[in-house]
Amino acid sequence: MSFLVLSTYILVWPALTLWVLVVLCRAVLKDYRSAKKNHEDMV
């Protein structure tokens, strides 16, 4: 395997993990703001 392919493969996983974390955090913040606006509990 070439160095470039191996490096790209290894660096893709942190990028995908960061993307999933951002999506989850945005969803939680959206739900939190919605609950606060409607005077409801998060759980």
pLDDT for the residue 42: 82
Cβ neighbourhood burial of 34 (10 Å; 0-12, 13-18, 19+)? exposed
pLDDT for the residue numbered 36: 95
pTM reported for the whole predicted model: 0.71
Task: Report pLDDT for 43.
Answer: 82
One digit per residue, the tens of pLDDT, for the chain of length 43 reads 799 999 998 999 999 999 999 999 999 999 999 999 999 988 8
**Euclidean distance between CA atoms 39 and 43, whole angstroms:** 12
Which pLDDT does position 1 carry in this prediction? 72
